[in-house]
Structure 1
Amino acid sequence: MWTARGPFRRDRWSSENEEPAGPSQALSPLLSDTHKIVSEGELHQLAQIRPLIFNFHEQTAIKDCLKMLEKKTGTYDIMQEFMALELKNLPGEFNSGNQPSNREKNRYRDILPYDSTRVPLGKSKDYINASYIRIVNCGQEYFYIATQGPLLSTIDDFWQMVLENNCNVIAMITREIEGGVIKCYPYWPISLKKPLELKHFRVFLENYQILQCFIIRMFQVVEKSTGTSHSVKQLQFTKWPDHGTPASADSFIKYVRYARKSHLTGPMVVHCSAGIGRTGVFLCVDVVFCAIVKNCSFNIMDIVAQMREQRSGMVQTKEQYHFCYDIVLKVLRKLLTLD
């Protein structure tokens, strides 16, 4: 049955410890000797989100859901929801991230993981600025790791986290440099011929493909101490503007759907720069898209509230929150035009 049950108030974080880096540019070079991984036609088909059951009853339920969401977006209801999320008191603690030995591992001083949901590394449970996120919708759990864009000093930790959690997909929703500021240190090799040598890992770039809205990179990550190899697919979304949200939802729909199709093992690793704003949008719409496919109800406010209980500030701005609604509206409208 279709329903769409419809709450931190920072438009920005004032204490971001950003690193000036000259003019904004992509650090990913054009490479050669690669093979196509997916076609734009296949991505277009993935973006045609369709429920498993699409009879008259379900179409009527979708129409009712669409009307309710359109009414909500035409009023102040969405902003009231966001304000309620902002004002909700969450009693999480950040002791590990505030330890003197861990402070330099944080990209931003005031964006830390809760102690209760942080991702521990190794037997000693070492620190990385990353959080386990479990979102329950219609009785099904969706499992992610939300994390910051790695620093130069945390690249080895990042790959340790990926391997220890058996993750096969990394969704990266930022360019390396935006607006003259380093948002994420490149944690992968730029050459097909030369691996990235780290303290504990060796990362090989085996293939790549540059698409209209994102880049696919295929890695083999080798643990030096054991020789164990792990395949990882990284998807870097390149069409999010320096400020605001994407002008078109189409590219992000394709990106999220391809990430879901690619996911096989472990939690999906999702990061932007801080690991809360764009990352939160990705998690929210991924859960909603899965709900639509499975003829399940969804509640955007509840999904965001669940995320914020596990990592502070998920879906960081009111514009990002509104974008979650906009992108779902676009999918539902398109769905009703299908034969």
Structure 2
Amino acid sequence: MKTAKDHLLKQFYEHEKVAAKSWMNIFQAINSQTAKRTKTLKLTCKSAYSVENVDKNRYRDISPYDQNRITVGSEENYINASPVPVDETGQNYILCQGPLDETCADFWQMIWEQNVPTVVMLNKLIERGMLKCSPYFPSKSVQEMTFEPYKIVCESEEEEGDFTVRVLSLHLDGVEEVKSVVHIQYTEWPDFGVPKSTANLLHLMRRYWELHGRDNTCPAVVHCSAGVGRSGTFVVVDTVIRLIEADTEVDMEKLIVKLREKRMGLIQTPQQLRFSWQTIVDYFQFQCDGSKGDEPSSSSGINGEESELGGRKREWSSDGRDEKLAKRRAMIAGMVARSRKSEKGKGSSSSYLSTLPFSLPIVAVSSAVFIAAMAYYHYSR
């Protein structure tokens, strides 16, 4: 008898046979279904586009729906954030944009009022030479930040490969209660792109499960720059893994369309769609007792084509698959061992620059090119 996992794997392999064309067709079908649902449900964004709120949006085309948005303080107080409850798994997320300078206090007010124990940040502060998120959190180098009436203190910070885990304490003026917030920042996920391998994301997912708790129903805030592409991929992967583990059959297209009713534009490219599916497939095919052993799949190559991030995609023919699995498991075991050895050898001290939560690229460009780039990225989103 076929399981929900078998059904998902079969679908993935069928799509891979026709490669890029299939993923593009699926993505376009999702967009078409989303447009119909948006019209049917009469979803609007009047609050986001109002005169008093329009400058609180990082991008002009990514806004929360009036019918499903987080409010801070009162119903009139706007923030670009959307609650995304998933009834089938009992999990709750809040997807939001990376805070702007003028919305950092609103962000922490949301964390306080919504009792958020975990924040997952999937971007750097600066990407492609552009500020994609204001520095709203303290770190080892800057241990305390204040956005009145909130004060945030970095209690600890640990680097774990491609991501950093911080434990923050959140204080509100005049209130004795102090709230603890785990802040997980993943720094190797390019805007509009995907990580170098599924292993990277699976490592992040497992740490998220450990730190947030698999059965925690309190909302986790997930954000990138816009709060739809990378953030949407994260939520889809987490949701589908939970459903398949419960042997619940999943229709990926319908799931994404349903989630988009809560947050517009969730998953932005065919590449992100494929990568989310690939990550789920690899989780079930290459896990070892659910805690180690990830297949470092190519992030974007299809049917042997060179991926944007290097490497070549696997061919998914049935011939010799057992042998391939054995080789991959051996390679993965070696990677895990080397990673653990490297972590043990790391020192506890680091320079000021290495503790910064972002990198500052040094580029020599004329002012005209810089201004043109700013305009392009602002209006293309």
**Inter-partner Cα distance in structure 1 for 2:228 and 2:142:** 34
Map Cα deviations across residues 46-97 of structure 1 (whole Å, 9 max, x no partner). xxxxxxxxxxxxxxxx445423321122224433221111123213100110
Q: Deviations over 1:200-247 (max 9, x none)?
A: 101000000011111001100001132321000010011113552112
- CA deviation digits over 1:112-135, x for unaligned, max 9? 100011101113441000001122
In the TM superposition, what whole-angstrom CA distance separates every residue of 1:155-177 from its partner, at most 9, and x where no partner exists? Answer: 00000001111010000000111
Report the CA distance between 1:319 and its aligned residue. Answer: 1.0
Q: 2:279 & 2:13 partners in 1: Cα distance?
A: 12
1:123 aligns with 2:74: yes
Match of 1:171 in 2: 120
CA contact (8 A) 2:191 2:230 kept: no
8 A Cα contact 2:119 2:183, kept in partner = yes
Cα contact 1:257–1:286 (8 A) shared by 2: no
Misfit runs of 4+, over 6 Å: 336-339
Q: Does 1:99 align with 2:50?
A: yes
Could you tell me whether the CA contact under 8 Å between 1:66 and 1:332 is conserved in 2?
no
| Residue 146 (structure 2) aligns with | 197
Pair 130,65 (structure 1): closer, same or farther in 2 beyond 3 Å: closer
Structure number with greater CO (CA < 8 Å, separation at least 6) is: 1
Match of 1:135 among 65, 76, 86: 86
**Residue number in structure 2 paired with 1:221:** 170
Letter in 1 for 2:79: I
The Cα of 1:328 is off from its aligned counterpart by 1.5
Cα distance in 2 between the residues matched to 1:335 and 1:135:
24
SS in 2 for 1:74: helix
**Residue 50 (structure 1) aligns with:** none
SS of the equivalent of 2:135 reads coil
Residue in structure 1 matched with residue 363 of structure 2 by the alignment = none
CA contact 2:91–2:217 (8 Å) conserved in 1: no
Match of 1:297 among 243, 249, 274: 249
- What TM-score results when the alignment is normalised by the length of structure 2? 0.69
Moved more, 329-338 or 128-137: 329-338
Deviation at 1:297, TM superposition (A): 2.4
Report the residue type matching 1:303 in the other structure.
L
Other-structure match for 1:232? 181
CA-atom RMSD in angstroms:
2.2
- Partner residue, 2:205: 256
The alpha-carbon distance between structure 1 residues 225 and 323, as it changes in their structure 2 partners (threshold 3 A), is same
> What is the aligned counterpart of 2:23 among 68, 72, 78?
78
Aligned residues of 1:97 and 1:129 also touching (Cα < 8 A):
yes
Q: Distance in 1 between matches of 2:2 and 2:170?
A: 42
Distance 1:311 1:125, change over 3 A: same
In 2: Cα distance, 1:213 partner to 1:162 partner: 25
Match of 1:33 in 2: none
Q: Quote the offset at 1:3 in angstroms.
A: 5.0
The one-letter amino acid paired with 2:180 is S
Residue 133 of structure 1 aligns with an amino acid whose one-letter code is: V
Q: Which amino acid aligns with 2:82?
A: S
- Are the equivalent residues in 2 in contact too, given 1:3–1:298 (CA < 8 A)? no
CA offset digits 1:279-316 (Å, max 9, x no partner): 00000000112123333322221221111111110001
Please tell me whether the aligned partners of residues 240 and 246 of structure 1 are also in contact (alpha carbons under 8 angstroms): yes
Uncovered stretches (5+) of structure 1, i.e. residues with no partner = 5-61
Pair 1:274 & 2:222 matched: no
Q: Equivalents in 1 of 2:183, 2:110: separation in Å?
A: 15
Whole-angstrom CA distance in 2 between matches of 1:190 and 1:310:
32
Aligned to 1:185: 134
Q: Tell me whether 184-193 or 311-320 shows the greater mean CA deviation.
A: 184-193
2:269 maps to 317
Match of 1:25 in 2: none
Max radius of gyration: which structure?
A: 2
Q: How many residues get paired?
A: 280
- Residue 195 of structure 1, CA deviation: 1.7
1:210 aligned partner, one-letter code: E
Match of 2:305 in 1: none
Question: For 1:39-54, what aligned pairs fall within 5 Å after superposition?
Answer: none
Percent sequence identity over matched residues? 32
Residue segments in structure 2 that go unaligned for 5+ positions in a row = 289-324, 330-381
Give the secondary structure class of the aligned counterpart of 1:319: helix
Residues in 2 aligned to 1:131 and 1:169: alpha-carbon distance in whole angstroms: 16
